[in-house]
Amino acid sequence: MTCIGETQKWVKETWDRLDKKMQISAPKMKGKIPYTTENGHYDNFYERCPDWWTNGFWGGMMWILYKKTNRTIYRDAALDCERLLDKAFYEYYQRLHHDVGFLWNITAGIHYRLEGDTLSKRRVLEAANLLAARFNIKGQFIRAWGGAERSGWTIIDTMMNLPLLYRASQITGDMRYSYVAQAHADMTMRDHVRSDGSVFHIVQHDEFTGECTGYPKGQGFAPESSWARGQAWAIYGFTLSYIFTGKQEYLDIAKRVAHYFIAAVCEDFLPRCDFRAPAEPVLYDSTAGVCAACGLLELANQVGEYEKEMYRSAAVRMLKAIDKAFCNWNPQEDSVLQMGSHSYHKVEERHRHIIYGDFFLTEALYKLSDGEILFW
């Protein structure tokens, strides 16, 4: 059997295992949105925090599963999640921030793009308006979080929220959304990405001039380190910005960060939480790997014939290694991807299931199954 044939066999078998597990899990989650697991079962983090930044990943994963299988249980779960997120708009609007793309682009956005639902369209545009309103005209950036002390902060994560703005321009024909997104991507390219392809998680700017004034500590080991999930956000985020704009510089930056990431994981293709951290303790972040794999697979679709295989092969090797080392396929337990680390220094946030890990694993398998839909 050829290498390609072996990969396709693995993709089909892995997808089937995922589908089998989610057919059991999805119906149990009505009225709930998970963040992690407790005793092998998804929690209901929505009950604690309706506006939590990860609350869209469950619904997004359900849409991907529905698109691939046409099982109505997944569509029902996706619609339930979208409905639940309305509470974040109505009751927690002042707390929403740069991550509204994670909440609504992969829930209401997918719903609108697949089915043309008018209420979903309104949700997408409301979220896009909120994100665009965070744009600092003087500094030419979208500010992160809230609070006066962070008024000049930007984070690499926002690159994955920019597709919400590009989609709003597609829906309305109003290019201002896209211009805001491109201005922020240009700043990120200049201030977050280092010459070697590693990235800063957080950058502090002068809010009146846009000048870079420092690098606050983020979720990695140190300000000057290389937080793995931040690298993954950059690979996928710049690739998506290239897809929506056609700007060559975005593709070039995505490739630079991808080369750095591939070099950092090539020993065993199991991403550490931070690529510039002490050798001990060994801290993994499986979620960085599956997110980066999605970015690498999409990047492979954008480059020339003789470049494709490098990115696709790295993605497949990483996914297979992660499957072997970190996936839980027990159908009696809800989550799949284990060993995710939300941040380096918080012990309670290391080596656990996190819902966006399951989302990006699902998306990567969909891409490898010749899925044609871009869900962002």
Predicted pLDDT of residue 157: 98
Which tokens hold the place of 314?
A: 């790295």
Helices (H) and strands (E) in the chain, counts: 15, 7
E strand or H helix that includes residue 15: helix 3-28
pLDDT tens for 87-117 read 999 999 999 999 999 999 999 999 999 999 9
What DSSP string describes 132-157? HTTEETTTTEEPPSSSGGGTTEEEGG
Torsion angle of alpha carbons 169, 139, 155, 319, nearest 10°?
50
Tokens for 322, please give them: 């992660």
Q: Give the pLDDT of residue 370.
A: 87
Q: Which of 43, 51, 80, 157 is catalytic?
A: 157
Q: What is the pLDDT of residue 1?
A: 38
Distance from CA of residue 374 to its chain's centroid? 13
Task: Let me know: does 341 contact 283? Beta carbons within 8 Å.
Answer: yes
DSSP structural state of residue 262: H
Compute and round to an integer the Cα radius of gyration of the chain: 19
How far apart CA 165 and CA 180 sit, in angstroms, is 8
CB atoms inside a 10 Å sphere around CB 13:
11
User: Hey, is 330 helix, strand or coil?
Assistant: coil
Q: What is the pLDDT of residue 2?
A: 45
pLDDT for the residue numbered 88: 97
| pLDDT tens string 12-25 | 999 999 999 999 99
Which residue in 51, 80, 99, 358 is the catalytic one? 99
43 annotated active-site:
no
Cα angle vertex 291, ends 372, 51, to 5°? 100
Identify the residue whose tokens are 């012990």: 347
User: What integer pLDDT is reported at residue 96 of this predicted model?
Assistant: 97
Whether pTM > 0.85 for this model: the answer is yes
Looking at residue 3, its pLDDT comes to 73
Structure tokens at 65: 């599963």
Q: DSSP string of 44-91?
A: -HHHH-TT-TTTTHHHHHHHHHHHHH--HHHHHHHHHHHHHTHHHHHH
191 given a catalytic annotation = no
CA of 313: how far to CAs of 59, 111, 309, 369, in Å?
A: 29, 31, 6, 15
* Helix, strand or coil, per DSSP, at residue 235: helix
Residue 76 CB contacts under 8 Å (≥ 6 apart), including other chains? 26, 30
d(CA 50, CA 84): 8
**Of 148, 118, 149, 145, which Cα lies nearest the Cα of 134?**
145
Cβ-based neighbour number of residue 231 at 10 Å: 30
Asked if residue 361 lies in contact with residue 64, where contact means CB atoms within 8 angstroms, the answer is no
Cα–Cα nearest to 57, from 85, 38, 76: 85
Taking 70 as the pLDDT cut, the residues of the chain under it are 1-2
Tokens of 287: 């979620």
d(CA 66, CA 252): 34
pLDDT for the residue numbered 250: 98
Q: CB under 8 Å to 15, separation ≥6 — which residues?
A: 68, 365, 369
**What domains are defined for the chain?**
3-368 (1.50.10.10)
Per-residue pLDDT at 126: 98
